[in-house]
Amino acid sequence: MGKIAIKNLPIEENIEYKIVVIEYSKKGLLISLEENEYLISKPKNSSWKGIEPSEGMNYIVKKVKYGKNQEYIRLDLIKSLKEEDLNANKKENRVKRKFKLPGVDDLNKDQDRVLRLPENGQFLVVGGPGTGKSVVALLRAMKYQKDDDYSFLTFNRVLLTATKQLVGFDLNSFTLDSWLGKAYWKIFKEYVPNMELKKRTPDYDKIIKNLEEIGIEENSHHIIIDEGQDKPAKYYESLICFGIENFFIVADQNQQITEENSSRQELTDLLGLEVEDVIELKENYRNSHPIGLLSSSFFTDPSSPVPILPSKSKTSLGTPILYDYENYQSCIKLILREADRDNRNLIGVIVANDELRDTYVNALNSMELTLDNPRAIVSTYSSKDNKTPKIDFSYSGIVVLNDKSIKGLEFDIVFIIVDGFNIYNNDSDSMKKRFYVMSSRAIKKLVFFKSENYKGGVEEILPTDENILKRERLING
């Protein structure tokens, strides 16, 4: 991306605009403005004196003319926005949720064992959804916070955003791909080489060859990886070629949702571990008992331990339910009414593709429906946007995401739109893994919607026991 002059920013003069800092580096200031990204030089006028932009910061700015003949243009800083300013116009529709990292005293014996591992070395922690893998990974990151000699890596931008909001410190974090890209650029001053036929897939063989040719000494940097199963073994071989020897990886082979991934055995071998060295987390702390029971029906791979079902006494809003519907507008009404019934909940709506995502976002925002409370804030994100997600997981509301974007997240209530998910070549195991991930996002309530005309094959992997998954027809209106 080339730099753009301040005068060429597509904003009116003397009108205030909000910008969000995406990145600040030697190349300049990468900002988000009016849903678009621009690379500019950091303004040097007096209003910016003492300001050191950092990722995620929000500023109100104004483009103004100056000079004897008003021949120059500058960008004035009006004020820096704090979180309370950003949410001031939305808080009346949202409620602050309990969204914080558990303390050390809240850990079980297996999690506590993880926390007491040596600071240096190679470690692999496996476990199902809700067993606290991300929690122990973040608590481990806190050990290195003072020295800043670590990187916390996540599968995608949405999980990265949620993780940053969860912790109470400035996490040195990246997506798995962005860390690789930055590290490669730092050495070679060029982008990561990609496969010829897969333009967005790194050519790991070429990366490894280039790194081996220059030879990088081992270093003390610590790499902590969440959702490590969704990168191929050669991704980790590339990291080793960067001189990394301190690895802490949490993973679950049952939650593989990408074509290129690593098995538990591959990660064990890469880290030079014995089978008994791998730590298993087994207790499910997220889901209610009915949701945990349904999610376990999608369990396919014994390489990870089956999570122990939560206690039946844990807060639940009933048995998961599958609604057959004639018109999707009835689904929209049910979601909006659910949000209106208790505005303390964060609701996740999970779809198969961007087309359905756009359909549901637009309908949730535009449907005319009488409600008792102000309409819930609807947030969304797509990887095609190539921007920082604007979703606040610490507040209630409705979040609409594709299933590939919900790794590692959790919601009080989840609605899964079955339409759009199709089983190809009789590969039901791959679809089970996707539904395992989706259904296990729900804490208290889980609902499936399926069109009466749906013929994608998912029905064959859904439980038939009405005690696990109830079935009803959704009446229009």
Q: Map out the domains of the chain as residue ranges.
A: 6-86, 104-281, 289-474
**Do strands 72-81 and 58-66 pair parallel, antiparallel, or not at all (unpaired)?**
antiparallel
Q: So what's the pLDDT on residue 406?
A: 94
Which architecture does CATH list for 6-86? Answer: Beta Barrel (2.40)
> Dihedral angle at the C-alpha atoms of 109, 114, 119, 125, nearest 10 degrees?
170
CATH number 3.40.50.300 given to 289-474: yes
What's the rounded Cα separation, in Å, for the pair 141 and 154? 13
| pLDDT in the model for residue 45 | 84
Q: Show the 3-state SS of the chain.
A: CCECCHHHCCCCECCEEEEEEEEEECCEEEEEECCEEEEECCCCCHHHCCCCCCCCCEEEEEEEEECCCCCEEEEEEEEEECHHHHCCCCHHHCCECCCCCCCHHHCCHHHHHHHCCCCCCEEEEEECCCCCHHHHHHHHHHHCCCCCCEEEEECCHHHHHHHHHHCCCCCCEEEHHHHHHHHHHHHHCCCCCECCCCCCCECHHHHHHHHHHHCCCCCCCEEEECCHHHCCHHHHHHHHHCCCCEEEEEECHHHCCCCCCCCHHHHHHHCCCCHHHCEEECECCCCCHHHHHHHHCCCCCCCCCCCECCCCCCCCCCCCEEEEECCCHHHHHHHHHHHHHCCCCEEEEEECCHHHHHHHHHHHHHCCCCCCCCCCCEEECCHHHCCCCCCCCCECEEEEEEHHHCCCCCEEEEEEECCCCCCCCCCHHHHHHHHHHHHCCEEEEEEEEEECCCCCCHHHHCCCCCCCCEEEEECCC
The token duo for 307 is 């999570």
Q: Which residues, including other chains, have CB under 8 Å from residue 452's CB and lie 6 or more apart?
A: 324, 325, 326
Q: Which fold has domain 104-281?
A: Rossmann fold (3.40.50)
Same fold for the pair 104-281 and 289-474? yes
d(C-alpha 474, C-alpha 140), whole Å: 46
Q: Give the per-residue pLDDT at 92.
A: 53
pLDDT block averages, 10 residues each, the chain of length 477:
84 81 84 81 84 82 83 87 53 73 84 92 94 92 87 93 86 93 95 84 95 95 94 96 96 84 93 93 92 93 82 77 95 95 94 95 92 91 83 94 94 97 92 95 96 93 96 84
Per-residue pLDDT, 89? 45
What distance in Å separates the CA atoms of residue 375 and residue 93, rounded to the nearest whole number? 7
Q: What is the C-alpha to C-alpha distance for residues 462 and 187, in angstroms, rounded to an integer?
A: 49
Radius of gyration of the chain from Cα atoms?
24
- What is the crossing angle of helices 428-439 and 289-296, to 10°? 170
Q: What is the pLDDT of residue 21?
A: 87
Asked if 131 and 304 touch (Cβ cutoff 8 Å), the reply is no
pLDDT of res. 58: 85
Strands 58-66 and 16-25: antiparallel
pLDDT given at position 85? 52
Structure tokens at 403: 């299933």
- The C-alpha angle 88, 94, 96, rounded to 5 degrees, equals 90
